[in-house]
Amino acid sequence: MFRRSFRRFCAGEEKRVGTRTVFLGNHQDSTTTTETYIAPRFCDNRIVSSKYTLWNFLPKNLFEQFRRIANFYFLIIFLVQVTVDTPTSPVTSGLPLFFVITVTAIKQGYEDWLRHRADNEVNKSTVYIIENAKRVKKESEKIKVGDIVEVQADETFPCDLILLSSCTSDGICYVTSASLDGESNCKTHYAVRDTIAVCSEECVDTLRAIIECEQPQPDLYKFVGRINIYNNSTEAVASCVHFLFRSLGPENLLLKGATLKNTKKIYGVAVYTGMETKMALNYQGKSQKRSAVEKSINAFLIVYLLILLTKATICTALKYLWQSTPHNDEPWYNQKTQKERDTWKVLKIFTDFLSFMVLFNFIIPVSMYVTVEMQKFLGSFFISWDKDFFDEEINEGALVNTSDLNEELGQVDYVFTDKTGTLTENCMEFIECCIDGHKYKGIIQETDGLSQTDGPLTYFDKADKNREELFLRALCLCHTVEIKTNDAVDGATESADLTYVCSSPDEIALVKGAQKYGFTFLGIQNGHMRLENQRKEIEEYELLHTLNFDSVRRRMSVIVKTPTGDILLFCKGADSAVFPRVQKDEIASTKIHVDQNAMDGYRTLCIAFKEIAPDEYERIDKQLIEAKMALQDREEKMDKVFDDIETNMNLIGATAVEDRLQDQAAETIEALHAAGLKVWVLTGDKMETAKSTCYACRLFQTSTELLELTTRTIEESASKEGRLCELLNEYQKKLNEYPKSSRSLKKTWTEHQEFGLIIDGSTLSLILNSAQDTVSNNYKSIFLQICMKCTAVLCCRMAPLQKAQIVKMVKNLKGSPITLSIGDGANDVSMILESHVGIGVKGKEGRQAARNSDYSVPKFKHLKKLLLAHGHLYYMRIAHLVQYFFYKNLCFILPQFLYQFFCGFSQQPLYDAAYLTMYNICFTSLPILAYSLLEQHINIDTLTSDPRLYMKISGNAMLQLGPFIYWTFLAAFEGTVFFFGTYFLFQTSSLEENAKVFGNWTFGTIVFTVLVFTVTLKLALDTRYWTWINHFVIWGSLAFYVFFSFFWGGIIWPFLKQQRMYFVFAHMLTSVSTWLAIVLLIFISLFPEILLIVLRNVNHGSARRNLSCKKASDSLSTRPSVRPLLLRTFSDESNIL
C-alpha cells in the first residue's frame, strides 16, 4: 500500500534515469504481497585502497617486475643456461635474479599490507544501526543503503547520510570536513523540518519515507534529492494516503569522512555506501609510479643489449670463419664425435650464438637492481631522520611511504599545491574596514563608538553615525555563523562566553570585527537574529531568507525584518560582484580602499543593502519558495531569483581580512621559482580569496598581468563556447608576442614575470567537455599553450577530480615534465595519486592526503629542503650509481670479448667462475652503495641557500646521451688497456727467474686484478664527501679481494672437479714484472680521469681568484664573500637572487 500510494502520487518519477530510490530503514510494503518487487542492488560499504590481494599478488607482482628489461633478460638467460650447454652455470644468473625478485616482492608486499591494514581499520570500525526499534552494533562494511545509522559526537560518518534528526530541537548538527574539502571549520547541516522530532530509536523505526536522489557523482558540493514522508495521521483511511514532499540539498547530506562536532548524536539514512560515496569517487586508483631514472635505466639496458647481441653475432660469425680452415675446425688433438658431426649446422650456429650470449651476459648488471632497491630503501631513512622536518606542534617529522621515487624529487618541473591548510593556516583576522570611503582600523573605546581608537588615530575622517551603525549591523546579520555557548569547536573563534561556528573562517572574522567596534552577534533564537549594539541594547531581526554564497554570484545576502517592520536586504561579496549592482556614484570612494587592500594581499568584501517594500517582498517570497522546492534544475532557478533580488542596492563600505600564510610559505615559493620550477595553485576556494593568497605568497607579483578564464569572463557573452574561443585566441596571440625560452634557458621566465593565468572549475569543464571532441581538443591545445607561457597559474573552485585532470594534462605534455602535487586534505588525494610525486601535509586537515602520498611532511616550508637538498642529492647519487654500474660491467666484459680473438672463439672464459660470481656481489658492490647513500658533492646548506643549483640537474641531465657516451667510452678505453696491457706483458716468454711460464688463468687473474683496483679507485676519485664508512668499504673491498684470491687459490676444494686456480694468485705476485704491470696499467687507465680533475681544479681556482678580486673591489656588497662550494659552479653575478 505504501509503495503503491507513493507511485500514484509520483507517477514516472521512480524510473527516471540518473536517480535512485531509497526506502528509509529498508521498510518496504509489508502489507501487500500481490505485487512482485525487486529491490535495487547497491554496493556494500567496504573501502578498498590496496593494490594486491592474496590471490593476485604473485602473478601481478611478477608481471610488474618482469616489465623491467634486466629482469626479463636474466630470466631468458637463466632458461638458456638450463636448456643449453653453456660455458657458465645456471646458478650465475638464476641466483641473483631470484634474490632481486624476492627482495622487491617482500618490499612491495609489505607496503600493500599497510594499506590493507588501514582499510580494515575503516571497514571493521564499529557503527550502530537502528533495526526493529533497537540499537544494533555492526561493522562499518555491513551498512546497506537505506539503513538508519546513529552517529555520536566526534565520530566519523561511515557513509554518505541524509540527516534525519539530531539531539538539538532545531535539527541542526555541526560537521568538520577537513579531510574532504580542506576546511577545518565547522559546517552547519540541517534536517528537514518534518523529521526533526524523530529523535529516539522507536520514533526512527516507525518513520516511513522514501528518498529519491541523483546517482552517485563525485562533486562534493552538489546534491539534489527529495524525501517523501508518509503522513500516518491518515493511516486509518486506506484510500487516503498522504505524503509530505521536501527537497534535499547539500545542507542535508553528511559525507563519509566528515566528523560530527558539537552535537551529541544524530540519526541519518545511508544513501551512498562504500566505493559509491563522494569521498571514494574522488579517489583515483593507485597506479605503479615509475621514476624517470628507471626509464633511463631501461633505455641504457636496450643499448647494452644491442652491444651484447653485436658481440655475440661477431664472435659467432668469426668462429665459423675461423673454422672454415679444416685444421682449425678439427685439430688432431681435439677430434669431434660422430654426434657433433651429424648435428644440423643451423642448430649448432644458434647454440653457439646463445653460448656467446651467456658468456657475455654480465654486461647487463642485474645486481644493479638490487643495489638500487637497497639505495632507495636505506636512503629514504635520511628524510625520516632529518631534524629540520620535525614539527614540535604535532610532534612529528617527515614520513616516507614510497621509497621508489626518491630521485624524482630532484627532477620536478611542475609543483601543484593546494591553498587552504597547505599554503595558509586557515586562520582569518579582521584588519580594517571602510565606510562610505572612510577608513577605520584599530579597536574602539566603547564610550564613543567609532569616534576614537585606543591606539594612534587610524582614519582621517568619519562617516555618518547612522551609516556606521548600518554597516556594523550588516556585518552582524549578513552571514551564516552559528553560535554555541561554552563549547569549544574546531576552527571556531571564541570571545567571552560565545563560540562562533561557521564553514567560512572569514565570516567569523567579520563577526569578530563587528564585535571589536561594539556590535556583538548573539545568535539565532526562534528564527530571529539577535545582536547587542554599542549601547548594550539587544536588537532582534527576523531572518526571512538566506541567499547563500555561490561561486558564480560571488556574494551572499540575507533578508531580515527589523523590529519596526521594515524589510531589509544586506549583501556582501566580491567587489566585482557587488559594484555592478549598486549606485554608480557610490563606487569610487570605496574602490580606492578595496584596490589598496588587494595590493596588500588582504581578502576584501564589499557590503551593500536595500529596502524592500512589503508587496515586493510577497512576490520575492513566493519565487524563492518555488525555486527551493524544484527537484529539476533547482540551482539554475534559484540563481535566477537571487539575481533578480540583488539589484539596485546601496553600497555601504568594504572589509579587509587577512588569511595568514604558513610560516615561510612565500619564501618557499620564491625558492621553487628560483630553482626553475613552475608552481600552480589548485584550490576549491573562490577566486578572490585564492587570488589574494597568491599575491601574499608571491606566486603573483604586482607586475604580473593576469589572464582570466572564469565564469565571470565567459558569461559576459550569450554564447559561452564562442566567448571561450575568443578569449583563448586573444590570450594566445598576446603571449605569442613574447619569445619562448628554451629549456637550456629555463631560468629566463623566473627573472621577468609577465603573465599569470586564473581559471575556475566551470571553465575547465567547458574546455575539457565541449560538445564536439575536435573542438574540445582544440580548446585544450590552446589552453595548454597559454599555461606553458604563463609564469604562474591559479585554478580555483576545483573539484578533486578536476585537480587530477589538470595534473594529468601537464604530465602528458611534450617532453613528459615531472609533476609534484602537495596537499593536506582528502580533496587533494586524486591529484597526489595522479602526479609523479605526491606530498601530503600533516596538520589540521586530517591525514587522508598523508596516507595516500608518497611522502608526507608537517609543513609546506619543508618542501624547499626536500626538493632542493634531498632531491638534488638523491638524483645525483643514483644517476652516478647507474652510470657506474654500466661502466664497471663494460670494463668487466670487454676483455672477455677481446680474449675470444686469441682463443679461436672457443667460448673459453677469461675469468674463473668464482670471480664471475663475486665481481658484482662482493668486490665492487659496497663502495658504490656507500657512495650512493652518503655522497654530498655540494654542501646541503649551499643547496638550500642557492636554489638555482637545482637547475643543473633538471631534465635528467646526468642520464642523458652525452654523459652515457662519456662513461661508455671511458669503460671501453679502460677495458682495452686492461687486456692489451696484460697481453703485451705476456709477450715475454718468461716472467719468472726460474724460467717458468704463466698460463691463461694467470693472464685472466692479472686482468681481473687491474680491473677491480681501477674501478674501485675510480669511485674514490669521484668521492667528494669522505666518511669513515667510505674509507672502510673502499679499502676494505680491495683488501677483501686480495684475501679472497689467496684463500680461494690456497686450498684444494673437494667439490671442484678442476683446481684451475690453485696457487695461481700467490704465484702471480712472486713476479716483480707483474707488480709493475699492475701499477702501471691502473695508472694509465685512470690517467684521463686524473687529468680531467686537475684541469677542473685549475679552472675553479682561477674562477675563485677572479671572484675574490671582484668582491674585494665591491665595497657596497653586503653578501657573504666566501662560498667555496658554490663557486665551483656559479659566478658572483649569478649568485644575486
Active site residue ranges = 418
Look at residue 173 and give its three-state secondary structure. Answer: strand
CA–chain centroid gap for 136, Å, is 40
What whole-number distance in Å separates Cα of residue 259 and Cα of residue 187? 10
Q: Are 1068 and 1002 in contact (CB under 8 A)?
A: yes
Distance CA 657, CA 670 (A): 24
User: Phi first, then psi: what are they for 1094, rounded to 5°?
Assistant: -65, -50
Residue whose entry in the numeric block shows the C-alpha cell 521536501:
246
CB 609 within 8 A of CB 569: yes
Long-range pairs for 71-77: beta carbons < 8 A, 24 or more residues apart = 71/97, 71/100, 71/101, 71/366, 71/369, 73/301, 73/305, 73/361, 73/364, 73/366, 74/361, 74/364, 74/366, 77/357, 77/358, 77/361
CB count, 10 Å around CB of 217? Answer: 15
Name the burial class of residue 886, with classes exposed (0-12), middle (13-18) and buried (19+) by CB atoms within 10 angstroms of its CB.
buried
Euclidean distance between CA atoms 793 and 796, whole angstroms? 10
Nearest CA among 27, 13, 31, 23 for reference residue 235: 31
Kindly report the three-state secondary structure assignment for every residue of 516-543.
HCCCEEEEEECCEEEEECCCCCEEEEEE
The string of DSSP letters for 776-834 reads HHHHHHHHHHHHHHSSEEEEES--HHHHHHHHHHHHTSTT---EEEEESSGGGHHHHHH
**Max CA separation in the chain (angstroms):** 127
- DSSP lists the bridge partners of residue 272 as 160
**Cell numbers placing 87:** 660455458
CA distance to 281, 926, 928, 1022, 1126, per residue, from 931 (Å): 44, 8, 5, 9, 21
According to DSSP, the β-strands at 160-166 and 172-177 are unpaired
CA distances from 113 to 46, 48, 51, 53 (A): 17, 12, 9, 9
Report whether 704 contacts 750 (CB < 8 A): no
* Contact of 426 with 491, CB cutoff 8 Å: yes
> Residue 289 is which amino acid?
K
Query: Which residues, other chains included, contact 1119 with Cβ-Cβ below 8 Å and sequence gap of 6+?
Result: 1135, 1136
3-state secondary structure of 475: helix
Cα atoms found within 13 Å of the Cα of residue 455, Cβ hemisphere only:
6
Nearest Cα neighbor of 354 from 70, 83, 94, 92 is: 83
User: Which set of grid coordinates corresponds to residue 615?
Assistant: 508587496
As a three-state string, the secondary structure of 818-867 is CEEEEECCHHHHHHHHHCCEEEEECCCCCCHHHHHCCEEECCCCHHHHHH
**Contact indicator for 153, 262 with CB cutoff of 8 Å:** yes
From the list 216, 196, 190, the residue with the least C-alpha distance to 42 is 216
Burial of 180-206, coded b for 16+ CB within 10 Å and e otherwise, reads bbbbbbbbbbebbebbbebbebebbbe
Q: Are 959 and 881 in contact (CB under 8 A)?
A: no
25 φψ region: left (φ > 0), alpha (ψ -120 to 50), beta (else): left
Q: Are 20 and 213 in contact (CB under 8 A)?
A: yes
